Chain A
Amino acid sequence: MGDASFSLIVAFTVFGILTLGGALGVILNRNLFRGTIWLMISLFGVAGHFVLLSAPFLAAVQVLVYIGAIAILFTFAVMLTRSLTQITDRFTRLWWNLGGAIVLFVVLVGAVIWPVWGGFTPGDDILFANVMSTTDLGIALVDRGSDLRQGFVLPFEVASLLLTAAMIGAIVIAREADDEEKGKRG
């Protein structure tokens, strides 16, 4: 067993534990807020698996979109509905939690950085063999093929219109009735 494959097994095990442990944390935790944190850990583990599978782009998307955006949205939603979250004992055992958080952070960062840049250097052929640049990937998404016969540029553009309409509509619905309207209703 060579060094590289041993490192891979270690990395796989760490990410596997993170993924499954995080998932268990989500479903076993009665506090929605903590459940969200566990979900982030689980998603982080999945991002690590993407790295191991030579898909660093997907790993980046996983971190940016799922952990960065979606998990934060979850957090907002949970905090906005505070009554449901049993969050009363949030500030007890603060130092204990802080220590745990730091350890977790170091483990998470180390677990991603070590296999990619530190623990083993498998060279480009293993990890980055089939990697497209982000630009290439974007072009391929909207316009596959050089003869312009296949591509998703039209649905891609229509989706942007859809999002615009949805956003404007959401603002209209969520906005308080302005004074003029209130006056009309008496």
Chain B
Amino acid sequence: MGILEYLSANLPAIAPEIGLTILAMVILLVDSYRPDAKSNIGYLAAIVMALLAITPFIPGWSPAMGESSLKWGGMIRHDMLASIFKVMILFAGSITSLMAVKDSAVGQKGEFYLIITISTLGASLLAASADIVMLFVALETVSIPLYILAGFSHSDAGSAESGLKYFLFGSFASAILLYGLSLLFGFTGETQLTAIAASLTSSESILGTNILPALAALTLVIVGFGFKISAAPFHFWTPDVYEGAPTPVTAFISVASKAASFAVLMRFFIGVFPDAVQLDGQSVQAFWTGLITVMAVVSMTLGNVLALRQENMKRMLAYSSIAQAGYALVGVAALQSVDQAVMTSAISSVAFYMFMYTFSNLLVFAGVILFSEAAGTEKISEYAGMQRRSPWLAVTMTIGLLSLAGIPPAAGFFGKFFLFQAAVQANLAGLAIIGVLNSIVALYYYLLVIKIMWVDPGKDEDQAIKIPAPLAWTFGITTIVVLLLGVVPAPIIGWARDGAAAVAQAVTIGLP
């Protein structure tokens, strides 16, 4: 194969990443030549990232229906599942840049937009990774910029503390993950996910009669990912980091890195340890789905119960995000089925959930930014009287919170519906029931904020909150997406199903 054919076959798979690299370089140049144009850099980053979200749809570049091919020497996959995650990650980067423009802590630093761009690039590659080397490099490209951003605010000691905590916990988790991955490489001599599975099942595999080392490696990997998606019991860093980091950074951490981690988590599990991998006559799949089920239950319950008692809005959203990770893990646990249709619905439900969660959470965080800038506080009790200070802010935040709670017509309802449906299809009805019960608990603290905003009298009610233009755009875009997904979920869930079907098919027929 000539180099030109090679490039034309492989470049579309990383089109958004190439765009992001160019964007990063442009930001660096503009920042050094026009030191007074920080807000314009923010708009530039937001617009370019949003435009890059259409690259997966350009004819000839988009992956074909049912295709899940390996590109760049087996490093990444080019498929629709990668596309859907890339679209939500690019929008997360775009909207984060937009909402940061008016943030006093980070908005007037050009480097912020550069680092967000690189982190978005890492997340976008992570969602497509098919090789443990690529996976780890991409994961660090998401994480290390975020450690920096969490501690980005000079004027705030809480930000420095948050950055250091995030760095220590995150690097610890990366080390554990890397240890697990290196064990897998050591056992098989392969770095590509499906090649590891093939090597494990081959007759020469040194693990053919010994399942324990594989379980040890798998556990280490789950622990590492557990930190990244802030699932209990590996969630300790979440509240402190969410509270201390500048709010746009918190928003980005809560959506982009989490969405990409979920994508690669599913790719890893079904790539390396599908049902076909039997070691010593036992299925490894039963082991990891069991662990994921336990993590899902613990995350949902712990996150929701602890969120009930929070007084700081960002801490409340931190515990809420732990619970949301638990819901999404329900979908991952549903991968225990060997039926291709059920696997499809499990993968697509997680993809849809992360899609709707990205926009809902960004919507709520945009409200938190606006309110903190106007009122100088993040206490939930201070949200009282918001509807008289800014009705639009109250309306949009209500829609966001309802979506997180899972109430129609907001998108969260269908998000949870598809997840629990997949769980039931995979014979995990008990898990689905626990999920539903938890949603009822969660309703309390989301509705409490809504009640405070609309009913309670506030002390500064005569001071109207003005919504600046970038945040107005943020509210507009996210609200429309959240409502559209809640009313007509068919296009996105259909797209997710197509993508998931290709991945599930590759798993079920890919192995000997």
Contact = CB atoms under 8 A, between A and B. Distances in A.
Interface in B56-78: 72-76
Interface stretch (A30-38, A56-64, A102-110, A156-164): A156-164
Nearest to A185: B155
Given A150-B74, A162-B122, A155 B155 contact: no
Given A148-B73, A162-B118, A177-B155, A172 B111 contact: yes
Nearest to A169: B148
A177 B137 contact: no
**Overall SS of chain A's interface:** helix
Nearest to A163: B144
B360 interface: no
> Chain A CB within 10 Å — which of B73, B122, B149, B155 has the most?
B73
B151 interface: yes
B21 A161 contact: yes
Contacts of A147: 1
B155 A148 contact: no
B134 interface: yes
Given A162-B141, A181-B154, A172 B148 contact: yes
A16 interface: no
A153 interface: yes
Interface string B350-389: 0000000000000000000000000000000000000000
B24 interface: yes
A contact residues, range: 20 to 34
B86 interface: no
B277 interface: no
A170 interface: yes
Contacts of B28: 168
B75 A155 contact: yes
A127 B510 CA distance: 44
B240 to A, nearest CB: 18
Interface string B98-133: 000000000001010011001101100100000101
Contact of A168 (B75, B114, B151): B114
A82 B134 CA distance: 40
Contacts of B138: 155, 158
B356 to A, nearest CB: 29
Contacts of A185: 155
Nearest to A171: B111
B118 A152 contact: no
B14 interface: yes
**Overall SS of chain B's interface:** helix
A150 B73 contact: yes
B137 A162 contact: yes
Contact of A181 (B73, B144, B155, B163): B155
A129 interface: no
Contact of B118 (A149, A155, A165): A165
A68 to B, nearest CB: 24
Contacts of A177: 154-155
A143 B140 CA distance: 22
Given A161-B24, A161-B118, A173 B76 contact: no
B489 interface: no
A77 interface: no
A148 B10 CA distance: 11
Given A147-B1, A148-B73, A161-B21, A166 B144 contact: yes
A165 to B, nearest CB: 4
A169 B243 CA distance: 21
B172 interface: no
Nearest to A152: B133
A118 B121 CA distance: 52
Interface string A122-157: 000000000000000000000111011111111100
A165 B154 contact: no
B115 A165 contact: yes
A152 B145 contact: no
B327 interface: no
A162 B144 CA distance: 8
B370 to A, nearest CB: 20
Interface of A: 143-145, 147-155, 158-159, 161-162, 164-166, 168-170, 172-173, 177, 181, 185
Interface of B: 1, 3, 6, 14, 17, 21, 24, 28, 72-76, 109, 111, 114-115, 118-119, 121-122, 125, 131, 133-134, 137-138, 140-141, 144-145, 148-149, 151-152, 154-155, 163
Counting from the closest, the 7 A-B pairs by CB-CB distance are: A169-B148, A151-B73, A165-B118, A155-B137, A154-B72, A162-B141, A150-B73
Given A152-B75, A158-B122, A173-B148, 11 more contacts: A154-B14, A154-B76, A154-B125, A154-B134, A155-B133, A158-B125, A159-B137, A164-B24, A164-B118, A165-B114, A165-B115
18 contacts: A147-B1, A148-B6, A150-B74, A154-B73, A158-B17, A159-B141, A161-B121, A162-B122, A162-B140, A165-B119, A165-B141, A165-B144, A165-B148, A168-B114, A169-B152, A177-B154, A177-B155, A181-B154
